[in-house]
Chain A
């Protein structure tokens, strides 16, 4: 399940939004399905999601969309050992 970016945008400042997000996280845990938060933009939203028990997220805070080979290269063990992670 994915939580709408509109809710995530207010999760750090609007108690109602936080409550809904928390409920969705709980439902996901009860059903044993992963719940991801969409459109995470700020560190405050990130912290609020962690406090509400969120486990997975996506959005500008975690990086813009990249090419597939770029992602592969920076995750390969060989690139880490030779110190060209191309990301930090």
Chain B
């Protein structure tokens, strides 16, 4: 890879980026400034390596979140980028107050490179390509031969799977019309070819690291994920026809083939998904407006989906509980988080319908988990003022009655800042729900000084 202003003489040298007194060793993951080692956190190094490999390019907070953290502003506060930039400046800039290497481009984002000595664009491309290829190759190289062969040969017009994977790794699959997507064992996308980009509208940079089903969405009749995984486990392969929603909201009828990737020990290391467009591409449907009627129509069309955020024990990172989070997967291809529509739902009277959906769906899921022997608790975040409404309390009581003994595994999270302003009727609602078996969590402690006052009033 490129080293500052000099062209590297060999491949090993290409692993090191040098700019002035700065030396970034991508293989050893070592940063040196003026010949001295400088300690960095994982995120700091990833951020610096990503930007240094693309010297002269300006990236927004959102782009850096996507590329370095595999996240989005919806999921993670973009200020994390700024914070890491400041930390890096303190480590690599002679004068962090007037940075010359990690520069702020006002209104846009951040750019790496000393304006007096920016390396050539060709060298930057070398860095990026070699880095990406190495990452993907190391993930799939040992597992790709046997499993991919049958999938690829039967669904893609390329006879040599190694050649295909070479194309996938390079991201150059102009002769392949099928979307070829590789995930790791956690369903996180590690490779996404050019045909997938054409088909779905997302680039590989945007989807790498994201869970497969949060990117590829079904328009309706979502297959039972559990049965799909079971079928995959049993036979190693799963085929289906489905209608997917592209990024722009257009509808695609596809034939899909999913194969397991296994290593030499037979352990599953990931999936290869090959999707072929078998029907036309239908124009985007108009999306439901964010008003009461639109929200109810979206509920009828099953556009709301409950996801579950893991809550883990810190010593072993085992998931012991989950927090329910509702998302609106709109027909125009967009995804809205709850904070983007719950206020509208409250204003338009659709809130109780939504809350009923969340509670019923999540409690059914809790029952299913526990009936399957999965020892896990469920948490639902509620606004304290909702508990002022007898309709809402009734929804919770109905769910608790159904849950019976599982009820003690249901937690209601009430933010301390909300609870600070509620009246006696809401507290009565909280106490009634607690008497029926649910447990109460006070959230956002430390954000306000209301916590201790609330604790005294709660059951």
Q: How far is the CA of A65 from the CA of B392 in the complex (A)?
A: 25
Is A32 an interface residue when CB atoms closer than 8 A count as contact? no
Q: How far is the CA of A21 from the CA of B446 in the complex (A)?
A: 8
Q: How far is the CA of A2 from the CA of B439 in the complex (A)?
A: 13
Is B382 an interface residue when CB atoms closer than 8 A count as contact? no
Interface residues of B in 203-224 (CB under 8 A from A): 210-211, 213-214, 224
Q: Is the beta-carbon distance between B43 and A72 smaller than 8 angstroms?
A: no
Is B319 an interface residue when CB atoms closer than 8 A count as contact? yes
Q: Is the beta-carbon distance between B42 and A64 smaller than 8 angstroms?
A: no
Interface residues of A in 11-59 (CB under 8 A from B): 20-21, 24, 31, 36-38, 41-44, 46, 49-50, 54-58
Q: How far is the CA of A56 from the CA of B372 in the complex (A)?
A: 24
Q: Which residues of A contact B214 (CB under 8 A)?
A: 64
Q: Which residues of A contact B43 (CB under 8 A)?
A: 42
Chain-A contact segment, one of B161-169, B225-233, B339-347: B225-233
Task: Give chain B's interface secondary structure class.
Answer: mixed
Interface residues of B in 60-106 (CB under 8 A from A): 69, 71, 75-77, 80
- Given A50-B314, A64-B210, A88-B185, is A24 in contact with B445 using a C-beta cutoff of 8 Å? yes
Q: Is the beta-carbon distance between A62 and B226 smaller than 8 angstroms?
A: no
Q: Which residues of A contact B41 (CB under 8 A)?
A: 42-44
Partner of B42 from the list A38, A43, A74, A88 (CB cut-off 8 Å) is A43
Is the interface on chain A under 10, 10 to 19, 20 to 34, or 35 or more residues?
35 or more
- Given A41-B80, A57-B314, A84-B233, is A1 in contact with B319 using a C-beta cutoff of 8 Å? no
B85 to chain A, nearest CB (A): 15
Most B CB contacts (10 A, CB to CB) among A43, A70, A82 go to A70
Q: Is the beta-carbon distance between A56 and B268 smaller than 8 angstroms?
A: no
Q: How far is the CA of A31 from the CA of B441 in the complex (A)?
A: 13
- Given A41-B76, A41-B80, A65-B307, is A79 in contact with B233 using a C-beta cutoff of 8 Å? yes
Q: Which residues of B contact A82 (CB under 8 A)?
A: 233
Is B285 an interface residue when CB atoms closer than 8 A count as contact? no
Using CB atoms, name the residue of chain A closest to B87: A13
Interface residues of B in 239-282 (CB under 8 A from A): 260, 262, 266-268
Q: How far is the CA of A11 from the CA of B258 in the complex (A)?
A: 43
Q: Is the beta-carbon distance between A86 and B319 smaller than 8 angstroms?
A: no
B186 to chain A, nearest CB (A): 4
Partner of B319 from the list A4, A64, A75, A76 (CB cut-off 8 Å) is A75
Q: Is the beta-carbon distance between A2 and B413 smaller than 8 angstroms?
A: yes
Q: How far is the CA of A76 from the CA of B371 in the complex (A)?
A: 11
Most B CB contacts (10 A, CB to CB) among A24, A57, A67 go to A67
Q: How far is the CA of A88 from the CA of B186 in the complex (A)?
A: 7
Q: Which residues of A contact B372 (CB under 8 A)?
A: 72, 76
Q: Is the beta-carbon distance between B185 and A86 smaller than 8 angstroms?
A: yes
Using CB atoms, name the residue of chain A closest to B317: A62
Q: Which residues of A contact B267 (CB under 8 A)?
A: 83
B367 to chain A, nearest CB (A): 11
Using CB atoms, name the residue of chain A closest to B337: A65
Chain-A contact segment, one of B51-59, B320-328, B394-402: B320-328
Is B36 an interface residue when CB atoms closer than 8 A count as contact? no
Q: Is the beta-carbon distance between A68 and B308 smaller than 8 angstroms?
A: yes
Q: Which residues of B contact A37 (CB under 8 A)?
A: 314
Q: Which residues of B contact A38 (CB under 8 A)?
A: 443-444
Using CB atoms, name the residue of chain A closest to B71: A60
Q: Is the beta-carbon distance between A75 and B368 smaller than 8 angstroms?
A: no
B240 to chain A, nearest CB (A): 16
Q: Is the beta-carbon distance between B268 and A83 smaller than 8 angstroms?
A: yes
Q: How far is the CA of A4 from the CA of B451 in the complex (A)?
A: 11
Q: How far is the CA of A67 from the CA of B209 in the complex (A)?
A: 16
Is B11 an interface residue when CB atoms closer than 8 A count as contact? no
Q: Which residues of B contact A44 (CB under 8 A)?
A: 41
- Given A1-B442, A64-B214, A72-B368, is A57 in contact with B311 using a C-beta cutoff of 8 Å? yes
A-B contact pairs, 23 of them (CB 8 A): A4-B447, A6-B446, A21-B446, A37-B314, A38-B443, A41-B80, A42-B43, A49-B314, A50-B314, A54-B314, A55-B314, A58-B311, A60-B71, A60-B75, A62-B310, A62-B312, A63-B186, A64-B71, A65-B310, A66-B211, A69-B226, A71-B308, A82-B233
**16 further interface pairs, Cβ-Cβ under 8 Å (given A66-B211, A75-B376, A79-B233):** A36-B441, A41-B80, A43-B42, A46-B314, A56-B312, A57-B311, A60-B75, A62-B311, A63-B310, A65-B309, A66-B307, A69-B229, A70-B225, A72-B226, A74-B186, A83-B267
In the A-B complex, the 7 residue pairs with the smallest Cβ-Cβ separation, listed nearest first, are A65-B307, A4-B447, A69-B226, A7-B446, A68-B365, A87-B186, A69-B225
